[in-house]
Amino acid sequence: MVPRTGTTLTKPAISLREQFEQVRQLSETLCAPLSIEDYVVQSMPDVSPPKWHLAHTTWFFETFLLTPHLKGYEVFHPKFGYLFNSYYEAVGDRHPRIQRGLLTRPTVAEVYQYRAYVDESMRSLLHQIDDAPEIQALITLGLHHEQQHQELLLTDIKHILACNPLRPAYRDNLPEPYEHGTPTQWLKFLGGLHTIGHAENTFAFDFAFDNEAPRHSVYTQDYCLASGPVTNGEYLEFIEASGYQNPKYWLSEGWSTLQNEGWTAPLYWEQIDGNWWNMTLGGLRSLNMHEPVCHVSFFEADAYARWAGKRLPTEAEWEIAAATIPSLKGNLLEQGYLHPTASIAPDFQPYGNVWEWTQSAYLPYPGFKADAGAVGEYNGKFMCNQMVLRGGSCITPQSHIRATYRNFFPTATRWQFSGIRLAQ
Amino acid sequence: MVPRTGTTLTKPAISLREQFEQVRQLSETLCAPLSIEDYVVQSMPDVSPPKWHLAHTTWFFETFLLTPHLKGYEVFHPKFGYLFNSYYEAVGDRHPRIQRGLLTRPTVAEVYQYRAYVDESMRSLLHQIDDAPEIQALITLGLHHEQQHQELLLTDIKHILACNPLRPAYRDNLPEPYEHGTPTQWLKFLGGLHTIGHAENTFAFDFAFDNEAPRHSVYTQDYCLASGPVTNGEYLEFIEASGYQNPKYWLSEGWSTLQNEGWTAPLYWEQIDGNWWNMTLGGLRSLNMHEPVCHVSFFEADAYARWAGKRLPTEAEWEIAAATIPSLKGNLLEQGYLHPTASIAPDFQPYGNVWEWTQSAYLPYPGFKADAGAVGEYNGKFMCNQMVLRGGSCITPQSHIRATYRNFFPTATRWQFSGIRLAQ
Amino acid sequence: MVPRTGTTLTKPAISLREQFEQVRQLSETLCAPLSIEDYVVQSMPDVSPPKWHLAHTTWFFETFLLTPHLKGYEVFHPKFGYLFNSYYEAVGDRHPRIQRGLLTRPTVAEVYQYRAYVDESMRSLLHQIDDAPEIQALITLGLHHEQQHQELLLTDIKHILACNPLRPAYRDNLPEPYEHGTPTQWLKFLGGLHTIGHAENTFAFDFAFDNEAPRHSVYTQDYCLASGPVTNGEYLEFIEASGYQNPKYWLSEGWSTLQNEGWTAPLYWEQIDGNWWNMTLGGLRSLNMHEPVCHVSFFEADAYARWAGKRLPTEAEWEIAAATIPSLKGNLLEQGYLHPTASIAPDFQPYGNVWEWTQSAYLPYPGFKADAGAVGEYNGKFMCNQMVLRGGSCITPQSHIRATYRNFFPTATRWQFSGIRLAQ
Amino acid sequence: MVPRTGTTLTKPAISLREQFEQVRQLSETLCAPLSIEDYVVQSMPDVSPPKWHLAHTTWFFETFLLTPHLKGYEVFHPKFGYLFNSYYEAVGDRHPRIQRGLLTRPTVAEVYQYRAYVDESMRSLLHQIDDAPEIQALITLGLHHEQQHQELLLTDIKHILACNPLRPAYRDNLPEPYEHGTPTQWLKFLGGLHTIGHAENTFAFDFAFDNEAPRHSVYTQDYCLASGPVTNGEYLEFIEASGYQNPKYWLSEGWSTLQNEGWTAPLYWEQIDGNWWNMTLGGLRSLNMHEPVCHVSFFEADAYARWAGKRLPTEAEWEIAAATIPSLKGNLLEQGYLHPTASIAPDFQPYGNVWEWTQSAYLPYPGFKADAGAVGEYNGKFMCNQMVLRGGSCITPQSHIRATYRNFFPTATRWQFSGIRLAQ
């Protein structure tokens, strides 16, 4: 069992069976506020309908666990393998991604029946695998996979509701955010040879994805990181300084993207009668200047940093700094804000609030080997033309994030809870 | 009151109030077999979600009747005017057509509340307008408008269900179709000066749309029409004669459309293990060779006719012939097949089964004047690059069709219940 | 030999051999002002490079005359059939239309060698066919085909030069246009049964294309035509009355085209420092208010007519009126203006200046039969989604136009010399 | 004066004036085999017409040197700044890149006049700047800029000629390539802390682009590089092993690109009657199995490496290895093959033949600063979504390449002379 790198979390007291029940339940809890109609729609190609997420995560267990490992298991429906495979070429043909929002059937009720059927079978399997660490590892992978989809569920629900002219709220009873925050400070970190990455590619208890390994040496120069992320107020200065009108701050592809898409502010900002508003999971709110700016693309993060005379951190710089933090806390899913909040402590807070764009391209670590079999398609095949984000967001489950975690998205992506931490 | 042209239907015994109740009820009855999920989706740009049809037809009454004519009326929701305007430029801004399928809210339940609210107000208005023929005429227009959307509801539901790999049926209990039909005969009609079109543009009892007027003279040569439409079996001969591989049968734009879209058969035909199947509102059925071929584009109808050494009729030829038929009957919505059926009588049957492509472009009749006001956008502004179809289909309400009725669609349209009648 | 319909032109005194030499020479004369670079470019998909026109018209003679009919003929180059076939499916595979502008080879010099080689062979053939009327007819078709391409040469050259920010002139020495014109009058024509179309589909001396036949009866109502086309000054009133901002004047598809394309004036108009300029084959000129408006689409012609409270004529109305004119004259290619000119006579002038959009869709006449063989692809397969234009333009060769001539283009086309004649 | 890193080239014996004459002359010499027509065409968006390259490189000197620094200089033509600016936002508006191929004017002759005018003015300036190192540095930059366009000239000419069905050769008299090569060996390099990059960002004699600086430390593990690039024969094994049909070798975006583009082999390979041919600057040749495979995208290079059980090198690994080579030689432009040739020596040959895709994303080195002013747009703004290539190709001028040189292209690019060197 390999110690988690860069955090000192002790082993969770709960068993794999308990984890399974908790994770599977949470997906359904997150969907509880939805109307049936909300489950069906794909508001853009990157978004999947909520019922698709519920079914796809279930398909993962059916396909990679139950069918090969539970004797006598019969698939719930012969076409669901076609409908709910996301991108696994090795598993066969699949429904086109951009047509996920055209499927009215199976109904939401049938998807929940599918979940119940698979969960019941999984419980049988979980009772048979005490001495089968490979199967335990695959189940753990399936749970982390579902946690990723829990985050996607909320990002996608937000997008679906925000594109509706009625601007409906996902929940009306979210906690009040902080009104004020503490000023950002610059924290200095020494350069030299450091070690980053997860020590071993394992699916067991101390879980990490294959793309976090191998642990390896990197050389950095001395650097400073901001203690907290860039705020809405700070970002608004960039907008008011004509940042979106001046190509000199932008990468060439960023500038053409801005022009083609008509970007003038982060996603979900809108100006009504001269005032800025912000669509949130709690509905349309007046823009809070102390909250971290969110839903910016890499292009915007990079342009802001250049305008501010700073830069984005590399993923190595971020991870080396995060590894100095003794405990993992922050505004994560469990806090229940479902929105970035102003910082009320001056400490360095690498986790939660917003995913932080780095200036590192998403590439294999030296010696990277994708996992064997179909699950090897999980991460490795996306290693080009994306940038790494670090630290988790206000909708990331706490047990899902860690110092070595590498999230990745294309440079124009804005619907994720992505923000900016400056370096220099 | 102007007599209906070309048919001898007597005046319906029912009042406008009764018509209102019947038509409004039918829309909801047609949606009864749907799951909530089915109401939400737009499976291609031409399709609208069923709940959008239900709301849009309601918006028509709210906008053109209640708001201007019912004292003290308050709109149900201030944003619904934006959401449910289809294409009326004169009525203000509107939601983009291709994004109708992204709207999860209002929910289906809220749309039914909207209908109930407007219906109740309409009942009040209907009690106040005995001496207001213009308002009666507008209500009549609204009812015929809703009948058009009843037909669209079924075409769109069929498309939504057919694009689902599960091939779900709209209803499992449709009546059995005929297994055999009677052979087609050629009927001869004499040329010369004839009069076609509706005698007057009126919204009153003897209703016709503005595009059916004025009644006017046309000169035709002698011609023959087939007694019935082309069957699946006849069309299959065209396919098996490599009709879809030979450009000489096709208009140039038809040939390029065929190649771009990959057409090899009518819409909803599929070949499984060498056998032909046909997706219907009753689910996937083995192809019935005696039924009229349906869901073909103008390009396919025209190519088939050229291959067969015939041609399509002009709309004048069709209307002159239909005016010889003493009574309007056929496989229309009320028959309940919801699918074209084989003919069991050798008579000339112009109505029902399939809309019949003509070789006439959809253009204004000599002296055409669009209605005044926003409802003048109903027909006239679409008078280019479309072809006329005549006769109604198996999903057209009987009280909606007549000899002078001009339906129109672009040349590549296939999701309508459109078929082929030959002329020579 | 069938008499020409609607004109009283006497038989030309020149032989087919002389016609051949004149027509072939004219194509080269029209290209004389070009630089080599001008011959190569395809400035939009509808445009073909001038050298392609020169080669394609030559390929027509090589393919349809020399290869089948001149004993011992060897094609100039084995790949030219692939490169210079336009759209004849029956003749085999061809180079994609949109890639015509990518071909730097054959060079312009080689294309002229190709022309010389084919012309020399054609002279041999022309000496052998005195008693072969079918071959004579095919040669006549080839010459009229080349005349069509002469007009396209000039429209395409104009487009190529106009899209160049340097706005180069095709010729600097065009004659001065008239500064003033005579006012338009309304001419009345009686309705009733009339006969239009060309009496016989023949390739012989009294030439007409297959789409002009058969001659047939049509019924019209009384109507008026304007004596001359709408002028730039009249059209400018429409622009200044916000005609391009008001959807009520436009067909639905016209309005969306206008918005997608950003149309605010006819093609080749540009406003510089508040003044209107007009790109012509003579370079950029100040807009002459008395000249006919040119380079408008059907959508613009139709919208202008609706704004003016008039309409466009049908093609039957146009032809019936034109047939009343004893002699064919007008501002045609031979006048040398290469641009529409103000009218200095109040007479009805149907020919020349601008092609006149009609409200008639381009459809087969009753009893139409396309010519047999590959040349049957000439006209018939384009009979959908286009509108008829009549009368020729300032770049149409005089011997090419006649009362029955049916030109046709899609409703959004603007690069042709197309204008507006009003009817009511 | 900063010593060149990783090579031991002595200072060239020629002055800046001589360099200017030589570089400017070479561009024209490279165009000598072209017909006028070849100068005009843009065969895809990435390609520029040869005359555009000739004018753009001239515009660079006019804009950045003559206008600001030569007293009394008048621009050759007021519109050329608009026409021949490539992407410098700071210099004002510009002609759209994708429309470069629509410009028939200025003619080729006028472009050569432009070059002569600017060259004459530059000679004046070159006589005045002996004590102006900044201006000397800018001229040096302009010359290296022109060298880059010399390489682009040949890649673009190749593409223009190759897309022509006649497959014309650029030159018929290229030297015969080698028929056989030596086998590849694996060369081992030790890991540890190394230093890469150019020591200082300078425009002076020892020239490097800003993106090659700063020189900085990197940590590598032990690694092996192949002594030579992958050959056509080796790559053909990948094709014959169904490499283009099996998604498991491909990055996800690579697989979808392959499917969308229909890739089945490298660009310029074609199979005729079962035999493989290769379009070259010398025309169509039978595929030589011993030559390096060329015109592959990053996706293909990466897939081949995965299939072979190897990987691509990082740019650091490449540069550390190249720095061990005492002298810079290889199949570069001056050798005159204009095509990759088989290796006849077993030595490690990092330079020439084909640009070698690395697995390194094109990102700023630690501490990177773009040059000040408009020329700062040269490199930095392209630092996302591209991969680094190293070593130059058979069409790179020898004085243009060095160990620290970072070329970069998007992952789907194939028209460059790009190939594969394996690492492990």
Q: Compare all CA atoms of chain B with the CA of C299 and give the residue at the minimum distance.
A: B384
pLDDT in tens, A175-214: 988 778 888 999 999 999 999 999 864 444 478 999 999 9
* CA dist., res. C355 & res. C392, Å (int): 5
Disruptive mutation site among B104, B111, B113, B284 for chain A (greatest number of A CBs within 10 Å): B104
The pLDDT value recorded for residue A12 is 54
Average pLDDT in the B278-294 region? 97
Task: Give how far Cα C30 sits from Cα of A297, C7, C279, Å.
Answer: 55, 28, 19
pLDDT of the residue at B288:
96
Concatenating the DSSP letter of every residue in D256-306 gives HHHHHHT-SSSTTEEEETTEEEEEETTEEEEPPTTSBP-S--HHHHHHHHH
The phi and psi torsions of D257 (rounded to 5 degrees) equal -65, -50
Parallel/antiparallel/unpaired status of strands D418-419 and D355-361: parallel
Question: Which of D36, D37, D44 best tests the C interface by mutation, with the highest count of C CBs <10 A?
Answer: D37
Interface test with A, best of B37, B157, B172 (most A CBs within 10 A): B37
For range A278-283, the mean pLDDT: 98
Encode pLDDT of A65-87 as tens digits. 999 999 999 999 999 999 999 88
CB contact under 8 A, D385 and A411: yes
B101-110, B343-352, C92-101: which has the minimum mean pLDDT? B343-352
Which amino acid does the sequence have at D109?
A
Average pLDDT, chain C: 93
pLDDT at A376: 81
**Are D248 and A217 within 8 A, CB to CB?**
no
Separation between Cα atoms, residue A322 and residue A4, nearest integer Å:
13
Chains A and B touch (3+ CB pairs under 8 A): yes
Q: Report whether A228 contacts A424 (CB < 8 A).
A: no
Instruction: Tell me which chain D residue has its CA closest to the CA of residue C41.
Output: D102
Query: Using the 8-state DSSP alphabet, how is residue C291 labeled?
Result: S
Q: Nearest CB to D105: which of C82, C95, C168?
A: C168
User: Could you say which residues of chain D have pLDDT below 50?
Assistant: 1-10, 201-205
Q: D339: how many CB neighbours lie within 10 A of its CB?
A: 25
Q: Residue A159: name the closest of A29, A53, A296, A280 by CA.
A: A280
pLDDT for the residue C12: 55
Token pair, residue B256, equals: 């390029």
Task: Give residue B313's pLDDT.
Answer: 98
Residue C88 has which token pair?
């004849």
Return the SS3 of C42. coil
What kind and span of H or E run contains D408? strand D407-409
Per-residue pLDDT at A1:
24
pLDDT classification of B12: cutoffs 50, 70, 90:
low
Cα–chain-centroid distance for residue A210? 16
In angstroms, the CA B27 to CA B36 distance is 15
pLDDT at res. B410:
98
Q: For residue A6, what pLDDT band results from cuts at 50, 70 and 90?
A: very low
Nearest by CB to D382, which of A252, A364, A367? A252
Which C residues, 34 through 53, put their C-beta within 8 Å of a C-beta on chain D? 35-41, 43
pTM: 0.94
Q: State yes or no: pLDDT of C323 exceeds 60.
A: yes
Characterize the bridge pairing of strands A407-409 and A387-390. Answer: antiparallel
- Helix, coil or strand: residue C246: coil
Q: What is the pLDDT of residue C343?
A: 82
Pairwise CB contact (< 8 Å): A411 & D221: no
Residues in chain A: 424
Q: How many CB atoms lie within 10 A of CB D71?
A: 7
Q: pLDDT exceeding 70 applies to what percent of chain B?
A: 96
CA separation for the pair C412, C42 (Å, rounded): 19
Q: What's the rounded Cα separation, in Å, for the pair A75 and A63?
A: 9
Instruction: Say yes or no: C282 contacts chain D, CB-CB below 8 A.
Output: no
pLDDT value of position D12 = 54
Helix axes D108-126, D16-31, angle to 10 degrees: 170
pLDDT confidence of residue C1: 24
Q: Return the pLDDT at D203.
A: 42
Q: How far is D216 from D25, CA to CA, in rounded Å?
A: 37
Among B37-41, C264-268, C347-351, D385-389, the least confident range: C347-351
A 323-362 residues with CB < 8 A to D? 359-361
- Relative to beta strand B418-419, strand B355-361 is parallel
Q: Which of D36, D82, D165 has its CB closest to that of C36? A: D36
Two tokens, residue C362: 């381009």
B90, B248, B367: residue with CB nearest C248 = B90
pLDDT at B201: 47
Predicted pLDDT of residue B202: 47
B288-341 pLDDT, tens digit each? 999 999 999 999 999 999 999 999 999 999 999 999 988 788 999 999 999 999
Helix A108-126 crosses helix A133-162 at what angle (to 10 degrees)? Answer: 160
Residues of chain A contacting residue B157, judged by C-beta atoms under 8 Å apart: none
Chains that touch D (3 or more CB pairs under 8 A): A, C
**Whole-number CA gyration radius for chain A:** 21
CA distance A49 to chain B (A): 11
C residues 161-220 near D, CB within 8 Å? 161, 163-166, 168
Contact A367 D221 (CB under 8 A): yes
More confident residue, A39 or B369: A39
For C41, the closest of D35, D102, D165 (CB atoms) is D102
Residue A285: which of A171, A147, A198 has the closest Cα? Answer: A171
Q: Mean pLDDT over residues A383-403, rounded?
A: 97
pLDDT given for residue D1 in this prediction: 24
Report residue D47 as tokens: 């390609």
Q: Convert the pLDDT of each residue in B100-134 to its tens digit.
A: 999 999 999 999 999 999 999 999 999 999 889 99
Q: Which residue has the tokens 């519920």?
A: A54
Cβ-based neighbours of B224, under 8 Å, separated by 6 or more: B186, B187, B188, B189, B423, B424
Tokens of D353: 């033949």
Is the complex ipTM more than 0.85? Answer: yes
DSSP C423: B
Cβ under 8 Å to D: C residues 89-148: 95, 99, 101-108
Which three-class secondary structure string do you get for chain A?
A: CCCCCCCCCCCCCCCHHHHHHHHHHHHHHHHCCCCHHHHCCCCCCCCCCHHHHHHHHHHHHHHHHHHHHCCCCCCCCCCHHHHHCCCCHHHCCCCCHHHHHHCCCCCHHHHHHHHHHHHHHHHHHHCCCCCCHHHHHHHHHHHHHHHHHHHHHHHHHHHHHHCCCCCCCCCCCCCCCCCCCCCCCEEEECCEEEEECCCCCCCCCCCCCHHHCCCEEEEECCEEEECCCCEHHHHHHHHHCCHHHCHHHCCHHHHHHHHHHCCCCCCCEEEECCEEEEEECCEEEECCCCCECCCCCHHHHHHHHHHCCCECCCHHHHHHHHCCCCCCCCECHHHCCCCCCCCCCCCCCCCECCEEEEEEECCCCCCCCCCCCHHHHCCHHHCCCCEEEECCCCCCCHHHCCCCCCEEECCCCCCCCEECCCEC
What residues in C contact B90, CB-CB < 8 Å? 248
